[in-house]
Amino acid sequence: MLCLGPPLLFFLVKPLLEAAVAESSFHLPAPQNVTIISYNFQNTLKWSPVMGINSSAVSYRVEHCKKSDCVWAEEVDSTNITKPEYYFTNVISEFVEVIFRVRTEQGELKSDWVETAPFQARTQTILGPPREIDATVEANSIFVSYNAPFDNKSRFFVFQYLISYWEKSTDKDLPSSDKVVVDTRDTQYTLANLMEMTEYCFHIQAVLPEKDLHGRLSDTYCKKTSFTETRRILFITLTFIFAVIILIIVFFCLMVIQKHQNVIKSLWGPPLTIPLHYEEDLQNPQMTVVEEFKNCAGEDHWDSVSVLPSAEQNPTVTNSTDGNNQNVHLLETDEFR
């Protein structure tokens, strides 16, 4: 039986071990959901996190190449990435169409590469709305100022701005035909010749005309116009004239009342009239007195009293009673007569 020494046994086993290690190097899970998110030319490569062997931490490696001449290259900061994302804003130009790939690494273990679709920031980035929007009312005009969606000093993009404005309505979905759209390259614009004392709403959108890249709409802002200077002066003048006319009318009414008081009183308070049945009775006073006397004599008890100035000299009192009536007569003295 052939006996093999340790050196010879090592050389025989080594290829098998290398093959086993090579085979096990692709056992790490590959990243999933690899996507590129670009907002205002801030580009981020993202993917789902991967757990390593025995749930240990892993790192990631990212490479990219030009679509026209794909030679995979890696940047200094694109290796040993611990988070499932990679920022590459300054890696490539926004004009270049590139492809990215990413894999998982853990020591000697590696996963398969996962590639992205071709990406060009110039056409695929998402433009945000203009920033720092401000609106000021100037009579029947609205002065609007704003800034670019991002700091444009290092990129020299030429933006165009679309300003849509309309008269405020209760309808939530206003037809586009009822909106006025103006375009400008300036970061300020005046919405002029609007209706006075009317509320207008507007929003702004940034556009890169070279690639027909439209940004997101800004929030809707509403402002109410005021009177023009001419209309304001006219309103004040008419108000003053109206007040003067009212004062003149009041003064004239007071003068008329002062001069024709009797006439006004007769108009407002007509003379009192006696009812017809009372007037007929008053035309015959004696009959009225007799009838009233009889009524009183038949119904009421009454006493007749005469007081003498000096009752001690000739006090003569006559008492008479007739039915329910009692009369007391105090006879006058000769002097009083």
**pLDDT value at position 12?**
55
**pLDDT value at position 96?**
86
**pLDDT value at position 78?**
84
Whether 87 has a pLDDT exceeding 60, the answer reads: yes
Residues 66 and 111 in one domain: yes
The answer to which of 66-70, 87-91, 194-198, 287-291 has the lowest mean pLDDT is: 287-291
**How distant, in Å, are the alpha carbons of 4, 8, 13 from that of 1?**
10, 15, 19
**pLDDT value at position 23?**
46
Distance CA 85, CA 223 (A): 43
- For every residue of 245-271, DSSP letters joined together read HHHHHHHHHHHHHHHTHHHHHHHHSPP
Residues 164 and 236 in one domain: no
**pLDDT value at position 325?**
44
Neighbours of 140 (CB within 10 A): 18
For the stretch 96-145, pLDDT in tens is: 899 999 999 998 899 999 999 999 988 889 999 999 999 999 989 999 99
* Enclosing domain of residue 65: 18-124
Residues 137 and 116 in one domain: no
Residues 154 and 217 in one domain: yes
Distance CA 101, CA 292 (A): 131
DSSP 178: G
Residues 25 and 119 in one domain: yes
More confident site: 173 or 108: 108
Residues 117 and 23 in one domain: yes
Distance CA 287, CA 300 (A): 19
Residues 219 and 244 in one domain: no
Distance CA 113, CA 44 (A): 18
Range among 25-39, 167-181, 226-240 rated most confident: 25-39
Tally of domains in the chain = 4
The answer to which of 44-48, 202-206, 241-245, 281-285 has the lowest mean pLDDT is: 281-285
Residue pointed to by tokens 């945000």 = 128
Residues 195 and 109 in one domain: no
Which residues of the chain form beta strands (DSSP E)? 35-39, 42-46, 59-66, 85-87, 98-106, 109-110, 114-115, 131-138, 141-147, 160-167, 180-184, 188-191, 199-208, 213-217, 221-224, 317-322, 325-330
- Domain end among 97, 124, 151: 124
**In this structure, what CATH number is given to the domain that contains residue 83?**
2.60.40.10
- Backbone phi, psi, residue 10, to 5°: -65, -45
| Residue 192 near residue 234 (C-beta atoms within 8 A) | no
Residues 118 and 143 in one domain: no
The answer to whether residue 146 is domain-embedded is: yes
The answer to whether residue 335 is domain-embedded is: no
Residues 168 and 213 in one domain: yes
Distance CA 176, CA 165 (A): 10
The answer to whether residue 13 is domain-embedded is: no
Half-sphere exposure of 22 (CA within 13 A, CB side): 6
The answer to whether residue 336 is domain-embedded is: no
Q: What is the pTM of this model?
A: 0.60
16 band by pLDDT with thresholds 50, 70 and 90: low
For the stretch 276-297, pLDDT in tens is: 766 666 666 555 555 555 555 5
The answer to whether residue 99 is domain-embedded is: yes
**How distant, in Å, are the alpha carbons of 18, 63, 247, 288 from that of 7?**
17, 41, 128, 168
What is the share, in percent, of the chain residues with pLDDT greater than 90? 39
- Domain end among 124, 140, 158: 124
- Domain end among 78, 97, 124: 124
The answer to whether residue 160 is domain-embedded is: yes
Residues 120 and 206 in one domain: no
The answer to whether residue 238 is domain-embedded is: yes
Residues 35 and 110 in one domain: yes
The answer to whether residue 4 is domain-embedded is: no
